[in-house]
Structure 1
Amino acid sequence: MPAKTDHDKSKPEEAPHYLGHRERLRERFYSAGADALSDYELLEMALFPALPRRDTKPLAKALIKTFGSFAEVVHAPVARLREVEGVGEPAINQLKLIAAAAHRVAKGEVNSRNALSSWNEVIDYCRTSMAFADKEQFRLLFLDKRNQLIADEVQQTGTVDHTPVYPREVIKRALELSATALILVHNHPTTPSSSTLDHARSL
């Protein structure tokens, strides 16, 4: 086998093929906006920081195939994310950070408004927080006399079909916050149980 020459040793290594792809995605994102990218392409970009030395396209496509959409991926349970080949802790941390950021942004938008002035605003806010929850939640939105959001709290989390609700605790917390109005929010990943409906009526 011939010995390597100094010329061979000084020859620069070729850059990984995915680096050019990443740059093209970034250019499209900044020039045309997020709407110019498909869900899997946006997910590719979201995974760049978590997987800096790896082509994120195959993993992004696998996640979309498994869960259905960008939103469903970032809100997927950690246990299910781990079932997807190639998903490790860095990727999970990045996805959960995105989900938390989306919730924080939605909450900030509500807090910056004068009030929750319509049911559409309430519904949009709650969808961001709860739409992909895999367990039932009983969430309380505490408002002041101008319908401004004082606090958003998950009081109870239950199984997929039942969440315990305690009216006394709800009233106690409202008094602690000096809230003058309440919005009670309850999601249903499956069909609501009869006991859940009874609790809702009692409240």
Structure 2
Amino acid sequence: MAKLVEGDDPTSPAGTSHKGHRERLRSRFIEAPEALPDYELLELLLAAAIPQKDTKPLAKALIKRFGSFADVITADVEDLKTVDGIKDAAAATLKVVREAAIRLARAPVLNTHVISSWDVLLDYCRTAMSTLPTEQFRLLFLDRKNTLIADEVQQTGTVDHTPLYPREVVKRALALHASAVILVHNHPSGDPKPSRADIDMTRQVKDALAGVGIAVHDHIIVGRKGHMSFKSAGLL
């Protein structure tokens, strides 16, 4: 027979105290969600995945391990599970939040004239990529009216390098009947300044796409410290 641990039974004194704390936390969130510190927001999220457990210590452990709410939800699943108490259900719950944030930010960009909605596009790119622990290369494909027709992650790399193959970019752009492409990648270091390799790779992709009549509108690098546009910097 399984042994009950204090707090497992919601009718026990410990369970009643825990339930009351969670209800008060929910009420505070409903009244002023922006007032909750990162660990309390995590505590509420984790409560959905681990309802029978006091999740405050676990939330604080995640903040200590990763640094902030944003860092926790963008961490890799396997890294999350290195924190004692985080299993598949809790990790999935955290990743659902990240995916929801990305889709909310992407919704105003889809099927719109990207060039005239540039600030919205930048907000989306920062939401999707600026806090990622490793480099990711995203390609935004546009039609003749500069409407976004596809948004795809092309490559995921290491903390400081992501390979991008011009031939694969050309192949995908032709398959989508794209007229232009915007390149986007992140710098986990936080500094969006392009490296020599970034500049050389951009030139190679631009030349390859130009050979089939497809333009590169821009290459955007995002990081915690901001973003950088190759076009604005005169690098395209």
Q: TM-score, normalised by structure 1?
A: 0.83
Q: Residues of 2 paired with 1:88 and 1:25: CA distance?
A: 23
Which has the greater radius of gyration?
1
Shift of 1:13: 4.2
Q: Is the 8 A contact 2:130 2:187 kept in 1?
A: no
Q: Helix, strand or coil: the match of 1:153? A: strand
Q: Which of 201, 205, 210 is 1:199 aligned to? A: 201
Indicate the structure with greater helix content.
1
Match of 1:7 in 2: none
1:3-22 matched pairs, under 5 angstroms: 13-14=12-13, 15-22=15-22
**Superimposed CA distance per residue, residues 78-105 of structure 1 (whole angstroms, 9 cap, x where no aligned partner):** 2322222222222111111111221222
Greater mean deviation of Cα atoms: 65-74 or 153-162: 153-162
Shift of 1:148: 2.4
Match of 2:233 in 1: none
Q: Residues of 1 paired with 2:177 and 2:85: CA distance?
A: 49
Q: Residues of 2 paired with 1:83 and 1:13: CA distance?
A: 31
Match of 2:28 in 1: 28
Match of 2:134 in 1: 135
Unaligned runs of 5+ in 2: 1-10, 206-236
Indicate the structure with greater strand content.
2
Q: Is the 8 A contact 1:164 1:196 kept in 2?
A: no
Name the aligned partner's letter for residue 121 of structure 2.
Answer: V
Greater mean deviation of Cα atoms: 183-192 or 46-55: 183-192
RMSD over aligned Cα, in angstroms? 2.1
Q: Helix, strand or coil: the match of 1:184? A: strand
Q: Residues of 2 paired with 1:61 and 1:138: CA distance?
A: 32
Match of 2:184 in 1: 185
Identity, in percent, stands at 57
Q: Residues of 1 paired with 2:108 and 2:117: CA distance?
A: 14
Match of 2:113 in 1: 115
1:46-57 matched pairs, under 5 angstroms: 46-57=45-56
Unaligned runs of 5+ in 1: 1-11
Q: Helix, strand or coil: the match of 1:134? A: coil
